[in-house]
Chain A
Amino acid sequence: DIQMTQSPSTLSASVGDRVAITCRASQSINNWLAWYQQKPGKAPKLLMYKASTLESGVPSRFSGSGSGTEFTLTISSLQPDDFATYYCQQYSSYWTFGQGTKVEIK
């Protein structure tokens, strides 16, 4: 099984901040990685796939990078709507989610 580890688990930030979330895979997944945003009581929303491809309709302040085992989701200027929990997910071998990173208001 491929394990996905996110850091940090919680991130406190202010509107306008640049934030980065890291996701590490237990083995190489090439760039078969997706990022999701989830708000309380809602289903996850796809933000990014193939590590760095922005899903249609997602604001350009979101960007993704990495390949192999280490990946990063960056929000260039945090907006009020961005306070949520973020999950990475590998789809190289079956599907595995990270444990999540909660972005909260500082």
Chain B
Amino acid sequence: QITLKESGPTLVKPTQTLTLACSFSGFSLSTDGVGVGWIRQPPGKAPEWLAVIYWGDEKRYSPSLKSRLTITKDTSKNQVVLTMTNMDPVDTATYYCAHRRGNWGGFFDHWGQGTLVTVSS
């Protein structure tokens, strides 16, 4: 059974760096084909993909946010960490991590419950 759970601050100030952790179970990020992604969803809006990390440590970032994002994995801890620099109020959203499956880019078949991050001074 695959489960994921996000953790991190609920409130950050503008210009600060956000660090979120995704702790997961039921799969290993050292298994061929496996990936974990981060997706965010501003209140009342559609989801927006941010980053994905694959089993071989290959990483993909949203082109529009690439300069602000870093995704890393700790296979021994079953954890993926996302950092986003220079936070702004428009970055207020629920941040989800999700298990990626499938061919080509792959889709997200299991999601965490999400964590709401508010950016405000």
A50-B102, A93-B105 given; A43·B49 CB < 8 A: no
A78-95: which residues lie under 8 A (CB-CB) from chain B?
87, 89, 91-95
| Residues of chain B within 8 A of A87, CB atoms compared | 46-47
A32-B105, A91-B104, A94-B49 given; A1·B63 CB < 8 A: yes
B96 within 8 A of A: yes
- Bound CA span A34–B108, Å: 9
In this complex, what residue of A is CB-closest to B105?
Answer: A91
In this complex, what residue of B is CB-closest to A46?
Answer: B109
Interface majority SS (helix, strand, loop, mixed), chain A: loop
A43-B96, A44-B111 given; A97·B105 CB < 8 A: no
Contact between B106 and A97, CB atoms less than 8 A apart: no
B112 within 8 A of A: yes
B75 within 8 A of A: no
| Residues of chain B within 8 A of A89, CB atoms compared | 47, 107-108
A43-B111, A49-B107, A87-B46 given; A94·B62 CB < 8 A: yes
B48 within 8 A of A: yes
In this complex, what residue of A is CB-closest to B62?
Answer: A94
**8 Å CB contact of B105 from A46, A95, A98:** A95
- Bound CA span A97–B39, Å: 10
Contact between B114 and A96, CB atoms less than 8 A apart: no
| Residues of chain B within 8 A of A49, CB atoms compared | 102, 107, 109
- Bound CA span A101–B111, Å: 20
In this complex, what residue of B is CB-closest to A34?
Answer: B107
Pick the 8 closest A-B CB pairs, nearest first.
Answer: A91-B105, A43-B111, A95-B49, A34-B107, A97-B47, A49-B107, A46-B109, A97-B46
Residues of B at under 8 Å CB distance from A? 37, 39, 45-49, 52, 60, 62-64, 96, 98, 102-109, 111-114
